[in-house]
Each structure stands twice: as structure tokens, then as C-alpha cells.
């Protein structure tokens, strides 16, 4: 018995030793599915500026089933409602305001994968707006909502005046992308700008936020038109700043440079997430053979059915494709994937880049799942008339390799604002 006991101890000791020598590393993903993982990072990335709390995010995602859009909605909306209720019961205004801002972000995240026609989206969006403005008001953040005439429609902007001395600094103007909301830009642009003493103007144009939800105004690739309308309306009410820096995120990496190519009032433009060729990025979501076939002959109308059938199958298996097509049908007014690919062809900077004459900053992540990293170099080479061109590719080692650096918000901000200081505050 004594020998058996000793052998047992030896076996246990070896087991412990082997476990201790295991070279496994920690898992840095929330979901295997990239869209689910990215959107979780996107929500979590608002933590530095008060839009999320780590524990609340972790408690939410642990109950969400992989690629189950209903599970996603229920998980995030439950957290949003719980945090909002907690906020209403809090007596301390700082705690209450911060909780409302977090609830706003969780409401925004909850609706993300819902079908555009899902009736819950309207009520969810209303709740997110109410929580957002309630949070800013409670915290005493100064802002003004600006309504901009745009043909038969109106666009919407929010101006955040900076502290004393902000008038001597560049005005930060920020626009989102393919799925952005105006309110989300507070965490990505306004809060970091205000913290550094800048004023910030955020806006949403056709196809974005409340503009598409409430007015049905669809995206336009001629983004110089809504951008001009926004600047015109702003400058009728406020003095012209000494410099204007225009930042576009995600698809805004196309929208902002496109606008800057036609807008002499823009002194610097930032493609926050390179978007040189949107059609190429969309084709990247399909099997490689489909890209070749599309470029050869599927774009022709008589073969559209084949493309639609293949994409339809892909939509059932891949949340990224399903969401991308549904969002495009809603925000761009296309009826099927074949029309979508044709529409995306207009969203490229190949012929526009040479018209850009201001300073340009291009930011990208080496593991961006939307846009090929080579688009950074392709875009840079075309900027032959820009006053200066600076590019920064964030790496895995830095923790900023994701699209729009949602995984390293403070790192990206440090690069962005050093560039602004170097170019416009010497």
C-alpha cells in the first residue's frame, strides 16, 4: 500500500508539472466568429471615454450564442435595460450620467445584427438616444444639436465647444461610416478632442443614423455634397476656425477623403481605417473564386442570378455577409447582391486621390477584416498633390491590429493627436 501511495504521489506530481509546463497562451477573442468578436471589441473600445464597463461587457457576452442574432439582441438589450434602470436610481450625478452613456452604447450594440425591418430597431434606437442625451446632460457636457438643410431633407450634427483656448486650435470634424450613429462619434471623436482642448463637430449624412432611419435618405458616393452642407451651416452660426481637420471612420475612410478632394476649407483629412476601394473590400467577403468570376463576367446583368444565388448561400453561413447585404439594401436602396456590387464600385478613391491637396493621415490595422492592408500603399501612391501623406499601420504586437483600432483606442488617439499637433499647431 505504501508503494502504491508513493506511485500515486509521483503520478500527481508529474501531472502538476506537465500542466505547469504547458505552453498555452490566453485566448484574446470573445467569439470565433469575426463579426461578433469585432462588435464586442467595438462596444468595449468605448470604455476609455465612458461608453462601457469591462465587467458589464463580459457578463453580457458570456450568455450570447455564437452567430445567433436573436441571442445577441437579447443579451445586449438586457444589459442596456439593467444599466439604464440602475442609472435612474443613482443619486450621484456623475455615476448616473456615466451609466446612461454606457446604456446608450449597449442599446446601440443590441440592434446591430437585427434585420433593418425588425420593428424592435425603432424603439431600441429611441432608447439609445434618450440615454445618450440624458447622460451628457447629467454630466454637464456642453453640446448643441444643429439641423442642416439638405434639399428636401435635413442632416444632423452635434457641436461640442471646447474649453477656453479651443478657438486657437483646429476644429475637429468627424463623420462615421457604413453603420455609424451620430451619438457613437462622441466616444470616438468628441470626448478625446474635448479632453485635449479642441472643439469638435460630429455629423451624420445620407444613409447614416437617424437620417436613414427617420427620413429614408440613402447613401451617396458624392460625399462632398453633404459635407459642404454641414460646413456651410456650421459657419453661418460660428466663426471660421483657423484650421479644420476632417476625420472619417471605416467607410468614412472613403467619405472624408472624397469630401476633402472638393473642399478647400479642409486643412487635414484622416482616413481612420483605409477605404480606398469599397468594392474590393466587399468581394473579399466572398470565396476567392467568386471574386475572379465576378471580375470576368458575373457583373453582367444576365449573370446576376448566379451571383445572387451564391451570395444567398453565403449569407446563411456567414453573419458578416448576411449583415453586410442587409445593411446595404437598407442604407443604399439596392435590391440584391448584384446591384450592391455595382453600387460599391462608385465608392473608390482611384480617380479622386489626385484632387486632394491638404495634409493626409491614413490609419489601418494589419489584421483589418474589412479592407486589405495593401490599400494603404495604393492610396498613398495616388496622393500625388497632397501637402503631406502620413500612414500608420498598427500591429498585433501593439494590440491595435483590428479595423479602426477598436482594440487600441488610446493608442490610435495618441498617433492621431500627435499628427494634428505636428501639422497644425507649430
pLDDT band at 283 (very low <50, low <70, confident <90, very high): confident
Strand order in the sheet with 268-272: 144-150, 153-160, 200-204, 171-175, 244-249, 268-272, 359-365, 388-394
What is the arithmetic mean of pLDDT over 290-312?
Answer: 66
Lowest mean pLDDT among 6-15, 26-35, 320-329: 6-15
Nearest alpha-carbon partner for 96 in 154, 37, 137: 137
What is the arithmetic mean of pLDDT over 392-397?
Answer: 97
| pLDDT tens readout for residues 181-235 | 999 999 999 999 999 999 999 999 999 999 999 999 999 999 999 999 999 999 9
The answer, yes or no, to whether residue 281 has pLDDT greater than 90, is: no
Nearest alpha-carbon partner for 271 in 158, 174, 374: 174
Q: What was the pLDDT predicted at 282?
A: 84
pLDDT band at 19 (very low <50, low <70, confident <90, very high): very low
pLDDT band at 300 (very low <50, low <70, confident <90, very high): low
Percent of the chain with pLDDT over 70: 89
Would you identify the CATH topology of the domain 34-130? de novo design (two linked rop proteins) (1.20.1440)
Boundaries of every domain in the chain: 34-130, 142-277+347-424, 280-344
Task: Classify the C-alpha dihedral 56-57-62-64 as positive or negative.
Answer: positive
The answer, yes or no, to whether residue 317 has pLDDT greater than 90, is: no
Task: Classify the C-alpha dihedral 172-328-409-103 as positive or negative.
Answer: positive
Nearest alpha-carbon partner for 182 in 150, 149, 148: 148
156 forms beta bridges with 147, 204
Joined together, the cell numbers standing for residue 44 give 468595449
Nearest alpha-carbon partner for 244 in 193, 182, 179, 318: 193
Q: Can you tell me whether residue 344 is helix, strand or coil?
A: helix
User: What Rg, from alpha-carbon coordinates, does the chain have?
Assistant: 23
Q: Quick check: 186 and 203 in contact, CB under 8 A?
A: no
Domains 34-130 and 142-277+347-424 share a fold: no
Q: What was the pLDDT predicted at 295?
A: 56
What is the arithmetic mean of pLDDT over 177-182?
Answer: 94
Q: What was the pLDDT predicted at 289?
A: 55
Joined together, the cell numbers standing for residue 113 give 445584427
Phi, psi angles (nearest 5°) of residue 361? -120, 130
Q: Quick check: 197 and 165 in contact, CB under 8 A?
A: yes
The answer, yes or no, to whether residue 3 has pLDDT greater than 70, is: no
Q: CA-to-CA distance for 102 and 152, rounded, in angstroms?
A: 35
Q: What was the pLDDT predicted at 311?
A: 81
Concatenate the DSSP letters of all residues of 369-409 into one string.
SSS-THHHHHHHHH-TT-SEEEEEEE-TTTT--SGGGTT-H
148 forms beta bridges with 155
Residue 348 DSSP one-character state: B
The residue with cell 440615454 is 131
What is the arithmetic mean of pLDDT over 141-155?
Answer: 98
Nearest alpha-carbon partner for 192 in 46, 60, 305, 315: 46
| pLDDT tens readout for residues 20-42 | 445 566 677 999 989 999 999 99
The answer, yes or no, to whether residue 340 has pLDDT greater than 90, is: no
Q: CA-to-CA distance for 225 and 170, rounded, in angstroms?
A: 22
What is the arithmetic mean of pLDDT over 267-274?
Answer: 97
Q: What was the pLDDT predicted at 55?
A: 98
Lowest mean pLDDT among 78-87, 318-327, 388-397: 318-327
pLDDT, averaged across the chain: 91
The answer, yes or no, to whether residue 11 has pLDDT greater than 50, is: no
The answer, yes or no, to whether residue 18 has pLDDT greater than 50, is: no
pLDDT band at 298 (very low <50, low <70, confident <90, very high): low
Would you identify the CATH topology of the domain 142-277+347-424? Rossmann fold (3.40.50)
Amino acid at each position: 500500500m505504501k508503494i502504491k501511495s508513493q506511485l500515486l504521489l509521483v503520478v500527481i506530481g508529474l501531472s502538476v508539472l506537465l500542466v505547469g509546463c504547458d505552453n498555452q497562451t490566453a485566448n484574446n477573442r470573445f467569439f470565433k466568429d469575426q463579426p461578433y468578436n469585432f462588435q464586442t471589441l467595438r462596444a468595449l473600445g468605448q470604455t476609455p471615454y465612458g461608453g462601457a464597463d469591462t465587467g458589464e461587457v463580459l457578463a453580457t457576452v458570456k450568455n450570447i450564442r455564437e452567430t445567433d442574432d436573436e441571442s445577441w439582441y437579447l443579451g445586449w438589450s438586457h444589459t442596456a435595460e439593467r444599466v439604464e434602470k440602475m442609472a435612474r436610481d443613482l443619486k450621484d450625478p456623475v455615476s448616473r450620467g456615466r451609466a446612461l452613456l454606457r446604456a446608450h452604447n449597449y442599446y446601440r450594440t443590441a440592434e446591430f445584427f437585427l434585420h433593418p425591418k425588425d420593428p424592435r430597431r425603432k424603439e431600441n434606437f429611441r432608447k439609445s438616444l434618450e440615454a445618450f442625451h440624458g447622460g451628457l446632460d447629467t454630466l454637464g457636457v456642453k453640446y448643441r444639436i444643429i439641423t442642416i438643410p439638405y434639399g428636401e431633407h435635413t442632416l444632423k450634427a452635434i457641436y461640442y465647444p471646447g474649453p477656453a483656448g479651443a478657438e486657437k486650435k483646429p476644429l475637429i470634424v468627424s463623420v462615421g461610416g457604413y453603420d455609424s450613429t451620430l451619438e457613437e462619434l462622441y466616444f470616438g471623436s468628441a470626448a478625446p478632442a474635448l479632453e485635449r482642448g479642441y472643439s469638435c463637430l460630429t455629423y451624420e449624412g445620407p444613409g447614416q443614423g437617424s437620417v436613414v432611419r427617420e427620413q429614408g435618405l440613402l447613401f451617396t458616393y458624392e460625399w462632398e455634397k453633404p459635407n459642404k452642407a454641414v460646413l456651410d451651416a456650421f459657419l453661418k452660426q460660428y466663426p471660421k476656425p483657423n484650421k479644420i481637420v476632417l476625420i472619417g471612420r471605416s467607410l468614412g475612410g472613403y467619405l472624408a477623403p472624397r469630401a476633402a478632394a472638393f473642399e478647400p476649407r479642409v486643412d487635414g483629412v484622416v482616413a481612420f481605417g483605409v477605404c480606398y476601394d469599397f468594392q474590393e473590400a466587399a468581394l473579399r467577403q466572398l470565396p476567392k473564386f467568386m471574386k475572379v468570376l465576378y471580375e470576368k463576367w458575373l457583373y453582367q446583368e444576365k449573370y446576376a442570378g448566379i451571383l445572387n444565388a451564391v451570395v444567398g448561400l453565403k449569407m446563411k453561413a456567414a453573419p458578416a455577409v448576411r449583415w453586410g447585404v442587409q445593411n446595404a439594401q437598407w442604407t443604399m436602396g439596392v435590391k440584391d447582391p448584384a446591384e450592391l456590387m455595382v453600387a460599391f464600385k462608385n465608392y473608390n478613391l482611384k480617380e479622386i486621390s489626385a484632387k486632394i491637396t491638404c495634409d493626409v493621415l491614413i490609419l489601418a490595422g494589419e489584421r483589418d477584416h474589412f479592407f486589405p492592408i495593401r490599400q494603404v500603399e495604393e492610396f498613398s501612391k495616388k496622393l500625388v498633390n497632397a501637402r503631406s501623406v502620413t500612414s500608420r499601420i498598427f500591429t498585433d504586437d501593439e494590440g491595435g491590429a483590428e479595423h479602426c483600432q477598436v482594440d487600441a483606442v488610446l493608442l490610435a488617439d495618441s498617433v492621431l493627436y500627435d499628427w494634428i499637433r505636428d501639422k497644425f499647431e507649430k
